[in-house]
Amino acid sequence: MSEHTIVSLPDQATARIPKDNYITRENGLLSWLLTSDHKRIAILYLISITFFFFIGGALAGLIRLELLTPQTDLMATDTYNKVFTMHGVIMIFFFLVPSVPATLGNFFIPMMIGAKDLALPKINLLSWYLYMAGGLLALYTMAIGGVDTGWTFTTPLSTHYVNTNVLTTGLAVFIAGFSSILTGLNFIVTIHKMRAPGMTWFRLPLFIWSHYAASILMVLGTPVLAIAIVLIALERTIGIGVFDPTKGGDPLLFQHLFWFYSHPAVYIMILPGMGVISEVISNFSRKRVFGYTAVAFSSVAIAVFGFFVWAHHMFIMGISNYAVLIFSLLSMLVAVPSAIKIFNWSLTLYKGSITFETPLLYAFGFMGLFTIGGMTGVFLGSSGTDIHLTETYFIVAHFHFVMVGGMLMAFLSGIHFWWPKMTGRMYPEKISQLAAVVTFIGFVLTFFPQFILGMLGMPRRYASYPPEFQILNVFSTAGATILGVGYLLPVLYLVWSLRYGAIAGDNPWQATGLEWQTQSPPLTENFTEMPVMDHEAYDYEWLEEQQKKEARSAG
């Protein structure tokens, strides 16, 4: 590998972190806990979601440990049910849903559009507090015995047959849902109303388009989850009968309401990650994103179509065959916009000046793994194959490929890409590249065998399995160990970099976004004067002009 890199750091002998920035502007714990600065709120979120990620990860470790052997020898079956339920609840609602939007979205949406803050800064802070309240309630639920229904709270199990903490978990998710709604609402208002002069819709970074689409899903989908949880709570406590067959209710109604949110939720999770990938791929190929308009519209298309396909999670649950037909057909359509993005990113890379810094390594991982995950999603959308593959490890593998191989890699890509901007420091490149490769290897070893297990018929959510499945499970657990190392490394070296990392300067990646044309870390008010957008997005020629101008004025 050549030493060719686009990283351009200032002279380390004389470089200094700017004295006045959003971190140093005010001191004291209260100035963080009562802040209305979107960047500080983003950091608060970053710390909290990392915390919840490792809790969810520990639960995953317990799952994989149990599945090393065919018998339930590590924990009782009931306990295992609780472990995988809490793993799902925490990873989905307290890590994946807020991951990119609440950290990178909060930090960079105002900066990318040339604004001083989000439209509703206090609501932004409220979002974080709601998130923390929900998260702490979820932890409390774990402490008092957890819940064992699976994160999907399927009725009538959750309403009539378990005596675990469905209500407290439901309340935790309900509260976190409002955090998500308020974040999405804030983003939509900001993107519509606070763009700088000259920042037309088609000059916006694709990161913004992705977050806009995800925000539409948050605002329109999450309230339906809220009402579904309310109904479960009332069914469990009073017995209102809406999901109770003995009173004439239909348990499937809950599933319709639940999945009406939870399918768009997967797009809430992945779209912001796709936004990150657009930025990273453009920057490390030194080329504008191929087919900007297609990528922008495909984000919105994913959001819109994502609302029409939810019952593909219910093919075997008892809905009518005609509904199965309709939803299966529509599910085929929703894959198309995602595929369009993969093609456009590939064509962006083609004939680009590619360098292999860590963000791009994670982006490559994303492209490969998301493609596999997405394609297996199409296999599941086809109702004929779904009947055999659903509720097996094939599903588990599918969603981990898109969520972990896809979304989590995109998150890490974004964190590394924007780390210098957020902290003023560069992360250590060699060890981060190693961590990316380790993560990729660990991931494939963990989850690829699960596709095979699923096709062979191993059911999901089971603590025990037939002995002939053991060897693949052992591979999977071995991979999980490697994956754990891969995720631990960034925490360690990123924290290390806060003190010892190279000073990054304004624009170490020579990137084109507005956020890169200011100091690192940024000022509290982001810009000293309102920027005017006079060029297209990903305009590397414009950047060259700027750099020539600066060289001339400095010389």
- Which residues are near another protein by CB under 8 A? 110, 115-121, 123, 181, 185-186, 188-190, 192-194, 216, 219-224, 226-228, 231, 234, 237-242, 247-250, 252-253, 256-257, 260, 307-308, 311, 319-323, 326, 525, 530
Cβ proximity to another protein, 314 vs 463, nearer residue = 314
Cβ proximity to another protein, 52 vs 305, nearer residue = 305
Cβ proximity to another protein, 188 vs 339, nearer residue = 188
- Separation CA 116–CA 93 (nearest Å): 29
Cβ proximity to another protein, 199 vs 435, nearer residue = 199
Q: 3-state DSSP: the chain helix, strand, coil percent, rounded to 5?
A: 70, 0, 30
Q: Which stretches within 390-469 are classed as H helix?
A: 393-400, 409-423, 429-456
- What is the smallest separation between the CB atom of 544 and another protein, expressed in angstroms? 30
* Residue carrying the six token digits 């700027």: 546
Burial class of 327 by CB neighbour count within 10 A (0 to 12, 13 to 18, 19+): buried
Q: What is residue 542's three-state secondary structure?
A: helix
Cβ proximity to another protein, 111 vs 277, nearer residue = 111
**Structure tokens that stand for 396 in this block:** 């588990």
Cβ proximity to another protein, 38 vs 398, nearer residue = 38
- What is the smallest separation between the CB atom of 463 and another protein, expressed in angstroms? 33
Q: What is residue 503's three-state secondary structure?
A: strand
Q: Which of 297, 167, 185 is nearest to 232 (CA)?
A: 167
- What is the smallest separation between the CB atom of 273 and another protein, expressed in angstroms? 23
Q: Where are the beta strands (DSSP E) in 45-149?
A: none
Phi and psi at 237, nearest 5°, equal -85, -55
- What is the smallest separation between the CB atom of 278 and another protein, expressed in angstroms? 24
- What is the smallest separation between the CB atom of 315 and another protein, expressed in angstroms? 11
**Structure tokens that stand for 161 in this block:** 């047959």
- What is the smallest separation between the CB atom of 84 and another protein, expressed in angstroms? 27
- What is the smallest separation between the CB atom of 224 and another protein, expressed in angstroms? 5
Cβ proximity to another protein, 308 vs 379, nearer residue = 308
**Structure tokens that stand for 297 in this block:** 């519209």
The count of other CB atoms within 10 Å of the CB of residue 247 is: 11
- Separation CA 183–CA 178 (nearest Å): 8
- Separation CA 494–CA 503 (nearest Å): 13
Q: Which of 174, 283, 272, 189 is nearest to 223 (CA)?
A: 174
- Separation CA 174–CA 463 (nearest Å): 29
- What is the smallest separation between the CB atom of 222 and another protein, expressed in angstroms? 7
The count of other CB atoms within 10 Å of the CB of residue 286 is: 17
Enumerate residues 6+ apart whose C-beta is below 8 A from 1: 356
- Separation CA 102–CA 86 (nearest Å): 21
Burial class of 185 by CB neighbour count within 10 A (0 to 12, 13 to 18, 19+): middle
- What is the smallest separation between the CB atom of 157 and another protein, expressed in angstroms? 19
- Separation CA 272–CA 106 (nearest Å): 11
**Structure tokens that stand for 227 in this block:** 């009402």
- What is the smallest separation between the CB atom of 193 and another protein, expressed in angstroms? 4
- What is the smallest separation between the CB atom of 377 and another protein, expressed in angstroms? 20
- What is the smallest separation between the CB atom of 185 and another protein, expressed in angstroms? 5
Is 219 in contact with 181 (CB distance < 8 Å)? yes
